[in-house]
Amino acid sequence: MTSPSTIAPKFLSAGNELGVVAVGFSGGQCKPGVDAAPSALIESGLLNQLKDDLSYTLHHDDTVHTYSELLPSQDPPHRNMKNPIAVSAVTRQLSTQVYSHARHGRLVLTLGGDHSIAIGTIAGTSRAIKERLGREMAVIWVDAHADINTPETSESGNIHGMPVAFLTGLAREKGAREELFGWLGEEPCLSLKKLVYIGLRDVDKGEKRILREHGVRAFSMHDIDKHGIGRVMEMALGHIGTDTPIHLSFDVDALDPQWAPSTGTPVRGGLTLREGDYIAECVHETGSLVAMDLVEVNPSLEAMGAQETIRAGCSLVRCALGDTLL
Ligand SMILES: NC(=[NH2+])NCCC[C@H](N)C(=O)O
Ligand SMILES: [Mn+2]
Ligand SMILES: [Mn+2]
């Protein structure tokens, strides 16, 4: 049984308004199928639960956006990135959709898609929050991976391993063309000081150097084993403070493959589903949540576990949006 949350949101307009954006995009990595996640999540009843059980007023265009009209016929590698023009165009368009929900003071839920789409979602919310409230926002990035490669440090060329580098300005290219992420502008969307990672366990060499050099706050699985998830969440939220809007970007591969096998880059030794739900519940309890992404569910991989993965994804979203155990 569920009932609406009693936590009053600090940075949203009244009325429990939820903007939903469904993004069927897979161009930030090489495995097809992650584009089918939004339909799978919606078909399993997620949006109905948010409406009926958690009493949200939904703003959704009933479309899974594939942005096919934006995809170029030619998209050669640029600085070693695969599909750079496609990812740039899709995230640019997505950022305006997320922005217009957030500008109205709605909580924004984006269902991906691979994690490259966070370039668009975080660009959109951070701009809206800056305009509405004159504040900088924080990002909690829950993931097995840091996704902070620059095009130059990346070994794969997959942009889903780079969104944080673009958002924080680390990947900036002087005089970049609009259609090659130049649209992001000079000013970073996110400060490295307002970024917190949880769940890391597969971080590339170049990424480790970046995290160390900039003193980024990161809680790996080692930290979770050592302190327990309760203490880790206290430290993570303590770093952000109580007066800062939070964007939660949740990569389902943060969960152990036992709970979320159907994902493109699974890594053993991850969070239990309960730990994942707990992270989401704690973020909800802050009252500071302004946006959430759920990404990297790929129902076509490990098809046996697809329903399991979808169920886990739905659970994470419900918890972040106020579902409680009692
Ligand atoms: N969003 C993800 N699942 N990212 C995985 C990234 C893997 C690897 N670090 C790369 O840059 O290619
Ligand atoms: Mn990941
Ligand atoms: Mn990721």
**Residues 266/253, Cβ–Cβ less than 8 Å:** yes
According to DSSP, the residues that pair with 58 across neighbouring strands are: 18
pLDDT of residue 172: 94
Q: Is 158 close to ligand 1, i.e. is its CB under 6 Å away?
A: yes
Mean pLDDT across 263-274: 98
Ligand 2 mean position, distance from CA 140 (Å)? 13
The tokens for 38 are 């939004």
The tokens for 233 are 């969440």
Mean pLDDT across 51-56: 97
Q: Is omega for the bond preceding 169 within 30 degrees of 0, making it cis?
A: no
Residue 62 predicted with pLDDT over 90? yes
Q: What gap in Å lies between CA 192 and CA 67, rounded to an integer? A: 30
pLDDT of residue 207: 98
Length of the chain: 326
Residue 314 predicted with pLDDT over 90? yes
Q: What gap in Å lies between CA 151 and CA 174, rounded to an integer? A: 14
Q: Which of 25, 162, 177, 5 is nearest to 81 (CA)?
A: 162
Ligand 3 mean position, distance from CA 149 (Å)? 11
Mean pLDDT across 275-297: 98
Neighbours of 269 (CB within 10 A): 12
Q: Whose CA is nearest to atom 10 of ligand 1?
A: 161
Using only C-alpha atoms, what is the Rg of the chain? 18
Q: Is 75 a catalytic residue?
A: no
Q: Whose CA is nearest to atom 9 of ligand 1?
A: 161
Q: What gap in Å lies between CA 284 and CA 320, rounded to an integer? A: 5
pLDDT of residue 4: 83
The tokens for 115 are 């994690």
Q: Is 82 close to ligand 1, i.e. is its CB under 6 Å away?
A: no
Residue 3 predicted with pLDDT over 90? no
Q: Whose CA is nearest to atom 4 of ligand 1?
A: 161
Span 125-153, pLDDT tens digits: 999 999 999 999 999 999 999 999 999 99
Neighbours of 109 (CB within 10 A): 27
Span 82-119, pLDDT tens digits: 999 999 999 999 999 999 999 999 999 999 999 999 99
Q: Is 277 a catalytic residue?
A: no
Q: Is 247 a catalytic residue?
A: no
Distances (CA, A) of 207 to 117, 129, 138, 251: 19, 28, 20, 17
User: pTM for this structure?
Assistant: 0.98
Q: What gap in Å lies between CA 109 and CA 183, rounded to an integer? A: 23
28-62 CB burial, b ≥16 within 10 A, e <16:
bbeeebbbbbbebbbeeebbebbeebbebebebee
Q: Which of 256, 141, 158, 135 is nearest to 204 (CA)?
A: 158
Confidence of residue 5 (pLDDT cuts 50, 70, 90): confident
Please tell me which residue in 223, 251, 275, 293 is annotated as part of the active site: 251
pLDDT of residue 15: 95
Q: Is 293 close to ligand 1, i.e. is its CB under 6 Å away?
A: no
Query: Residue ranges of the alpha helices (H) in the chain?
Result: 37-43, 46-52, 84-103, 118-133, 163-167, 205-214, 221-240, 273-286, 306-320
Q: Is 161 close to ligand 1, i.e. is its CB under 6 Å away?
A: yes
User: What percentage of residues in the chain have a pLDDT greater than 90?
Assistant: 97
Q: What gap in Å lies between CA 114 and CA 264, rounded to an integer? A: 9
Please tell me which residue in 143, 204, 207, 223 is annotated as part of the active site: 143
**Residues 143/199, Cβ–Cβ less than 8 Å:** yes
Residue 266 predicted with pLDDT over 90? yes
Ligand 2 mean position, distance from CA 254 (Å)? 6
Residue 1 predicted with pLDDT over 70? no
Q: What gap in Å lies between CA 305 and CA 312, rounded to an integer? A: 11
Q: Is 100 close to ligand 1, i.e. is its CB under 6 Å away?
A: no
